[in-house]
Amino acid sequence: MEAERESSGISMNQTDVAAAVSDEVIMNRYQKYVGRKAFFILSTAIFLILAAGIASSLGQAKITMWEAYAAFFSKYLPDYFSASRMAETTIWNLRLPRIALGIVTGAGLGVAGCIMQGVLKNPLASPYTLGISAGATFGASLAIIGGAGLVGGDYLVIGNAFFFSLLVSLIIIGFAGRRGATPETMVLVGIAVLYVFSAATTFLQYFGDETAVVQSVFWAVGSLERASWSKVLIAATIVAISIPLLMLISWDLNILTTGDDSARSLGVNVKRIRIYSMAIISLMVSSVVCFTGTIGFIGLVAPHITRLAIGTDYRYLIPASGIVGAILIVGSDIISRNLIPPIIIPVGVITAFMGGPLFLYLIMKRRMGYF
Amino acid sequence: MKLVVKDLQFGYNSRTILNGISLELRPKEMLGVIGPNGSGKSTLIQCIDGLLRPKTGSILLDGKDLKSISRRELARRVGYVPQTTSRSFFPSTVIDTVLMGRRPHLGWRSSNQDVKNVIQVLRLMGIEDLAMRDINELSGGQQQKVLIARALAQDPAVLLLDEPTSNLDIKHQLEVVEIIREKVMEKSISAIMAVHDLNLAAKYTDRIIMMKDGKVFVSGTPESVMTPENIRTVYGVVAEVIKNNGNSPHIVPVRSLRRPSRLLTNDLPLEPARA
C-alpha cells in the first residue's frame, strides 16, 4: 500500500517534469524580472536628475540646463566645472533649496505612502488621508492665528505643525497597540482624527482676524516657497535616516501583504512591525510637512505608479516610490512656475490637479488588481 | 520534532471553543484532525502555530513551551497552511510568494540558492509553469497549492494544514496529500492535517483525532476511529464503513439523522443495508 502510494506519486511528478520548463528557464525569467526592477530605479533616478536640471534652468535669470549643472558641480569640482558668478548664486541660493526641498518632500511622502498602504492593507492610505497633514495644518493655524506655540520665533509655525502632525500619528499608533486592533481600526482612527483636526482648523479660522486667516490658508496649500538650506538640511537628514530604517523591514512588509495570520506564521511580529513603521513614517512625514504644508496626492499616487511598474517587492518599491514621488513634485514645481508666469502657483495645487486625473487614467488604463 | 499538547483550553469571552484538548505528535507521523463544522479543528491548529493564545494548558515543542519560543524561531520549525487562500493585497508573483517561506531562514538578501530551492518546491507541487504569474490571477486551487509550496519552502519540522484540499479537484486533492505524505516520510517531518473528507483522512494519516464540541471525542488509528457509531454520534450521519483486508477503511455516507421530509423517506433507508 505504502509503496504503491509512493510510486504513483513519483510517476506523476515525472510526467509533469517532462512537460514543463527547465529550472534554468525559470531562473532566467526571475533574474530578468528582478533586473527590470533595478533598471526602473536606475532610469527614474536619471530622470530625476534631468528634471532637477530643467527645474533649475527655469526662472527670471536666463540660465541653460548645462549652465545649471555646471554651476552645481563647480562648487565641488572647481577644476572641471565653471559657471558665471550670477549663475552660481542664482542656482545655489535661489533655485536649489527649493528643488532640494521638493526632492526630499517627494521622497518622504512617496515612501511613507507605499509603506502605509502595505502596513494598513489599504490602497487609499497616505499621510494625507490619515490626517497627518490635517494635524500639521491645525498646528500651523494655531500658531498663525492664535499666536500660540511650543517654540518661539521663526520656528513657531514649523514647530507647531511638526508637533501636531506627530500627535495625529501617536493617536493612530496608540490604537494600533491595543489588543485586537486591525489595520482597518487604524485607518478609521486616522479618518476620525482627520475630521476632528479639520474642524478645529475651521473653528480657528472662523474666529481669526482676516490677514492671519489668509496666511493660514496659504500655509495649508503646500508650497516650496519657504525653502531654505537650513530647512532642507533638517528634513533631508530625517528622511535620509528613515528610508534605510524602513528598507530594513522590506521582507516583513512583503509578507504582511499576504495577511496578518500568514505573516505571523512566517515569523513576523506583526504588531511590532506596524508600530515601528508607523513611528518612523510619522517622524519623517512630520519633518517634511511642517516645512511645506499639505502636498496631497504624492503619497497616494507615487506608490501606485511604482507598483504598476515593478510590483510589490518592498526592497525595490521603497526606493523607487521615493524617486517617483520626488519626480512628481519637481515636475509639478516646473509646471507651477510656468503655467501663468510670473505667478507661482503653490505646488500643492498642481499635485492635486495633476494627481487626480493621472490617477483616474491609471485606473482606466490598467486593472491594478486591487481596486 | 515531538509536539505535545496538554489540556488545551481556548475561548472567545464566555464561549468555549476548545475544552481540554490533549494530543501528541511523533516524528514522521501524519495526524488527521476531523470533526464537524465548529468543532474546533481550525482553532486547535491556530493555537499550535501560536496565532491564538490558549487560556490554559500547554503546547510543548521538543519539551519547550511554545510561549518561550520567539515568533521567528517558531516559524523555522512550524509551517502553517491556512484554510482560506489569503489573497495578497497587492499583486505578487508566485515565485516571490513562495520565496516568503524562506523568510524565517533569511537575512535581507535572498540568494540564488533560495530561489533554486523555491523552484524545486514549485516543481514538486507541479506549479513551476505558474512561477511568474500574479497569485491574484490564479484559481482557488492553484492558490492553495502556492500556499502549500510556501509552507514546504519554509522547511519546517512540523507542518500544520488546515483543510489543504478544500478548493482542489479530486486529482489535485490526491496529489497534494500524497506529496505531503511523501514529505513526511522522506524528511522525517510530521504533519497535522485538519480535513473534512473522511476518506482522505482515513487513507493518508497514521492516526486520527475526531473532535466534537471542542473536545477529543475519540482518537486512534483510522480503523479504530472510523466506525459507523462514532460517525453517527459526532456528525449525526448514518454511514457505512467498508473494510477490505487491511486497507484503510472506506466511508460511505448514507443519510443525515435530521428528520426526513416525506418526499425523501421512500428513497433512503434509515439504517445502512447489510451486505
In this structure, what CATH number is given to the domain that contains residue A103? 1.10.3470.10
- Domain assignment present for residue A19? The answer is no
- Domain assignment present for residue A94? The answer is yes
Which pLDDT score, from 0 to 100, does residue B274 have?
Answer: 54
- Domain assignment present for residue A16? The answer is no
| pLDDT over threshold 50, residue B178 | yes
- Domain assignment present for residue A370? The answer is no
Comparing A308 with A155, which gets the higher pLDDT?
A308
Nearest CA-CA distance, residue B86 and chain A, Å: 6
Cβ contact B175:B18 at 8 Å: no
- Number of structural domains found in chain A: 1
Whole-number Cα distances in Å, A79 to A64, A73, A76, B141, B262:
20, 10, 9, 66, 101
Residues of chain B found within 8 Å of residue A21, distances taken between Cβ atoms: 128-129
DSSP calls for A326-352: HHHHHHHHHHHHHSBTTB---HHHHHH
Give this complex's ipTM: 0.82
Nearest CA-CA distance, residue B105 and chain A, Å: 10
Residue of B nearest to A34 (CA): B96
Which pLDDT score, from 0 to 100, does residue B30 have?
Answer: 93
Whole-number Cα distances in Å, A337 to A224, A343, B168, B235:
11, 7, 59, 74
Give residue A16's pLDDT band: very low, low, confident or very high (50, 70, 90).
very low
Residue of A nearest to B73 (CA): A267
**CA atoms of B25 and B32, how far apart (whole Å):** 10
Q: Which domain holds residue A254?
A: 38-365
3-state secondary structure of B67: helix
Nearest CA-CA distance, residue A299 and chain B, Å: 17
- Domain assignment present for residue A266? The answer is yes
| pLDDT over threshold 60, residue B176 | yes
Of B82, B92, B123, the CB nearest to A312: B92
Contact between chains at A313 and B96 (C-beta distance less than 8 A): yes
Question: Would you kindly state where each structural domain of chain B is located, as residue ranges?
Answer: 3-226, 227-275
Residue-wise pLDDT for A30-82, tens only, equals 888 889 999 999 999 999 999 999 988 887 777 888 888 888 888 787 777 77
Residues of chain B found within 8 Å of residue A30, distances taken between Cβ atoms: 95, 115, 131-132
- Under CATH, what is the fold of the domain B3-226? Rossmann fold (3.40.50)
